């Protein structure tokens, strides 16, 4: 049985013409070989699997070829080329700097540079992963790299150029290798598949190319894996099954369902995806990339930015015609927010579901049926309706000619109904009525004496006074602050009191976040059980806490299971206000402890 060789080694380029995706670099190197203008040191840098070491070998072979072609390629027939192909050349040395990164290894290379080549013109030293050399090894390498013998050429290769010393970079010609495009990768995979007699679907090769992320070696490794799984017929479904990749059709379906506001169908699709073992965060990231691609497909000039196969590009272009640009922008914003919150979320699936629900409601009409879940805009709509209702009530009370009927009882009854339902709305209505009556009086005084003046309207005729409204509001506030667990009488400690106080501050609404932050610095204490004393160090904070004293008392009574809790607030005396210590003062206090002082002195620590 013939020995199996992986595709990445079997189809490794042996000439500049066979190198994929690096046309500018290979042209420059070939021109250097043709002209004979060779530098003494080259640095090839770029991501993994893009051909750095391969190009270094081809270049080393070409500059030592005894009969190079007119295009700057090695002939492959001379003694130097045969020795290189058979791995017995004494003129080309390869060193892995990841495992040979000491000063001693560099000294061995420097000793080798003194011996001239036996066949060919140059001794070529290829140092791979050169960024792994130690700083001492780099420094030992500097002088030789700057002024090597005339017969020596160094080719350095690295994936992390930023780790190399600037003094090394300044002594080399630097060549930056590009990532492989999806089109180039697919074309090369087709070539390999044809050579191996393997059938394929172009969409399947596109998945492999996207998975490789710009590395040709990775693409060939994945290709070998897929070929083994598919038994010589690489199909799209088998590739996504083998690589455990989420089918891109799921993203297209989610966007189509979101355009139709079909939340239920999206939830079922999400459940089926999660049941297959896919993570919700990866789904959101993939969907965000999909929406980005759809957005790029909106314009023919940006369609070329999609690193996908031709079939996928056509699908994106088709869906882009159906999706409004505003929908895509909003969806990207929502999913980006989900990605930011995903890591710290305690219920990740719920976060993903809420995100997909919001995406599905972007194109939903503003005013929909109850329960549609339009959180921000729906609430805004409700407030608009509430304001309209209040204005209508105000108009009914304030319009004398049409609604009041000059003494009829029907409008008064309607007004009383409004009062019983919404005290705040009625208060606004009464204000509007007063303003309208004042305006009507001013208008009447400006009328000519011939026109009769309308009769004055008394609000008491409606059976309503401002005092009665004020009493109702005070009663509502009093009722809100009423303790409902008066029968409970459990004892509580100072520690429990402080814990419940801090918990209450953390639960305060968003609009009171500033007050809650200041209240956290206040420490309540039990003065005479169950009396609780709260000492505040400034009058402004004391007034703010007094305004919500009743609500605080109710909250603490429930949390402490003691309905007899009573609060006393007072302003702190001058001697009760403690000054905040500086860092130096805190350090001096700690140094008074013997253990801390001995530790600081033994470690030689100082306060900076």
We report the CATH number of the domain holding residue 186 as 1.10.8.60
Residue 354 in this model has a pLDDT that exceeds 90: yes
Residue 502 lies in a domain: yes
CA dihedral 237, 240, 241, 242 (to 10 degrees): 120
pLDDT at residue 440 in the model: 47
My answer on whether 165 and 277 are in the same domain is: no
Contact call for residues 172 and 41 (beta carbons, < 8 A) = yes
* Domain end call among 305, 326, 360: 360
My answer on whether 70 and 127 are in the same domain is: yes
My answer on whether 254 and 237 are in the same domain is: no
Residue 591 lies in a domain: no
Of the listed ranges 418-422, 471-475, 527-531, the least confidently predicted one is 418-422
**Residue span of the structural domain in which 86 resides:** 7-176
My answer on whether 549 and 565 are in the same domain is: yes
Cα 186 → chain centroid: 31
My answer on whether 400 and 472 are in the same domain is: yes
Query: What single string gives the DSSP state of each residue in 337-371?
Result: HHHHHHTT-S-HHHHHHHHHHHHHTTTS-SS--TT
Q: Residues 92-129: pLDDT tens digits?
A: 888 888 888 888 888 888 888 888 887 778 889 999 99
We report the CATH number of the domain holding residue 65 as 3.40.50.300
My answer on whether 52 and 73 are in the same domain is: yes
User: Which of 228, 260, 192 minimizes the C-alpha distance to 11?
Assistant: 192
Largest CA distance in the chain: 129
My answer on whether 63 and 199 are in the same domain is: no
Mean pLDDT of the chain: 79
- In which band, very low, low, confident or very high, does the pLDDT at 466 lie, cut at 50, 70 and 90? low
> Locate tokens 């409606």: which residue?
462
Percent of the chain with pLDDT over 90: 13
- In which band, very low, low, confident or very high, does the pLDDT at 359 lie, cut at 50, 70 and 90? very high
Q: Residues 293-350: pLDDT tens digits?
A: 999 888 888 887 787 777 888 888 899 998 999 999 999 999 999 988 888 888 989 9
pLDDT at residue 299 in the model: 85
pLDDT at residue 431 in the model: 55
Q: What is the pTM of this model?
A: 0.55
Q: Residues 58-85: pLDDT tens digits?
A: 998 898 888 888 888 888 888 888 888 8
Residue 585 lies in a domain: no
Residue 199 lies in a domain: yes
pLDDT at residue 404 in the model: 39
Give me the number of domains the chain comprises. 5
Residue 480 in this model has a pLDDT that exceeds 50: no
Residue 158 lies in a domain: yes
My answer on whether 223 and 310 are in the same domain is: no
pLDDT at residue 55 in the model: 92
Contact call for residues 306 and 284 (beta carbons, < 8 A) = no
My answer on whether 23 and 153 are in the same domain is: yes
Q: Residues 170-195: pLDDT tens digits?
A: 889 999 998 888 888 888 999 999 98
- In which band, very low, low, confident or very high, does the pLDDT at 287 lie, cut at 50, 70 and 90? very high
Residue 145 lies in a domain: yes
pLDDT at residue 413 in the model: 39
Residue 371 lies in a domain: no
Measured CA to CA in angstroms, residue 145 lies from 106, 128, 156, 174, 331 at distances of 11, 15, 11, 14, 54
My answer on whether 187 and 98 are in the same domain is: no
We report the CATH number of the domain holding residue 569 as 3.30.300.180
Residue 590 in this model has a pLDDT that exceeds 90: no
Residue 592 lies in a domain: no
Q: How many Cα atoms occupy the beta-carbon half-sphere of 277 within 13 Å?
A: 4
Q: Residues 238-250: pLDDT tens digits?
A: 888 888 888 888 9
pLDDT at residue 148 in the model: 86
Q: Quick check: helix, strand or coil at residue 50?
A: coil
Q: Residues 397-435: pLDDT tens digits?
A: 444 444 433 333 433 433 333 334 444 554 554 555 455
Mean pLDDT of 5-33: 87
* Domain end call among 201, 220, 242: 242
Q: Which residue did the predictor score with more confidence, 606 or 197? A: 197
My answer on whether 473 and 519 are in the same domain is: no
My answer on whether 133 and 197 are in the same domain is: no
d(CA 527, CA 525) in angstroms, rounded, equals: 6
Measured CA to CA in angstroms, residue 289 lies from 209, 293, 332, 336 at distances of 16, 6, 9, 10
How buried is residue 428: exposed, middle or buried, by Cβ count under 10 Å (0-12/13-18/19+)? middle
């Amino acid at each position: 049985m013939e020995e199996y060789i992986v595709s990445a080694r079997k189809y490794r380029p042996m000439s500049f013409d066979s190198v994929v995706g690096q046309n500018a670099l290979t042209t420059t190197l070939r021109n250097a070989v043709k002209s004979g203008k060779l530098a003494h040191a080259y640095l090839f840098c770029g991501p993994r699997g893009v051909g750095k070491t391969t190009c270094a070998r081809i270049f080393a072979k070409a500059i030592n070829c005894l009969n190079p072609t007119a295009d700057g390629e090695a002939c492959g027939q001379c003694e130097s080329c045969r020795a290189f192909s058979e791995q017995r050349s004494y003129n080309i040395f390869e060193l892995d700097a990841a495992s040979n990164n000491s000063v001693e290894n560099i000294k061995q290379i420097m000793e080798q540079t003194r011996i001239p080549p036996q066949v060919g013109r140059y001794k070529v030293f290829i140092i791979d992963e050169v960024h792994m050399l130690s700083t001492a090894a780099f420094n030992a390498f500097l002088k030789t790299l700057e002024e090597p013998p005339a017969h020596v050429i160094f080719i350095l290769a690295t994936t992390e150029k930023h780790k190399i010393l600037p003094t090394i970079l300044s002594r080399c010609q630097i060549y930056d290798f590009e990532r492989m495009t999806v089109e180039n990768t697919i074309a090369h995979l087709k070539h390999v598949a044809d050579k191996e007699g393997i059938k394929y679907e172009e969409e399947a090769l596109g998945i492999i190319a996207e998975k490789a992320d710009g590395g040709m070696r990775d693409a060939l490794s994945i290709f070998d894996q897929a070929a083994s799984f598919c038994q010589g017929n690489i199909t799209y479904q088998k590739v996504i099954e083998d690589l455990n990749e989420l089918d891109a059709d799921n993203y297209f379906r989610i966007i189509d369902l979101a355009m139709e506001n079909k939340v239920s169908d999206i939830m079922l699709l999400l459940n089926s995806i999660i049941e297959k073992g896919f993570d919700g965060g990866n789904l959101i990231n993939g969907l965000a990339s999909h929406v980005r691609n759809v957005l790029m497909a909106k314009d023919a000039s940006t369609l070329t930015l999609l690193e996908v196969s031709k079939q996928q590009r056509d699908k994106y272009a088709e869906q882009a015609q159906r999706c409004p640009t505003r929908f895509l922008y909003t969806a990207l914003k929502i999913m980006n927010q989900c990605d930011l919150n995903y890591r710290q979320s305690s219920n990740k699936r719920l976060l993903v579901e809420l995100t997909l629900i919001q995406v599905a409601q972007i194109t939903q009409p503003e005013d929909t049926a109850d329960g549609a879940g339009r959180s921000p805009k729906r609430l805004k709509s409700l407030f608009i309706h509430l304001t309209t209702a209040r204005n209508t009530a105000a108009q009914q009370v304030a319009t004398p000619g049409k609604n009041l009927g000059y003494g009829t009882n029907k409008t008064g009854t309607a007004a009383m109904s409004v009062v019983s339902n919404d005290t705040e709305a009625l208060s606004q209505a009464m204000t509007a009525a007063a303003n309208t009556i004042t305006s009507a009086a001013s208008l009447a005084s400006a009328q000519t004496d011939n026109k009769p003046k309308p009769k004055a309207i008394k609000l008491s005729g409606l059976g309503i006074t401002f005092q009665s409204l004020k009493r109702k509001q005070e009663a509502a506030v009093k009722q809100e602050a009423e303790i409902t667990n008066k029968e409970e009488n459990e004892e509580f400690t100072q520690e429990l009191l402080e814990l419940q106080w801090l918990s209450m501050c953390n639960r305060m609404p968003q609009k009171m976040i500033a007050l809650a932050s200041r209240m956290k610095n206040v420490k309540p204490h039990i003065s005479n059980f169950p009396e609780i004393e709260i000492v505040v160090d400034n009058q402004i904070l004391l007034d703010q806490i007094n305004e919500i004293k009743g609500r605080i008392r109710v909250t603490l009574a429930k949390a402490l299971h003691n309905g007899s809790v009573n609060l006393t607030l007072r302003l702190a005396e001058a001697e009760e206000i403690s000054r905040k210590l500086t860092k130096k003062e805190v350090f001096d206090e700690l140094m008074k402890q013997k253990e801390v002082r001995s530790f600081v002195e033994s470690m030689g620590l100082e306060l900076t």
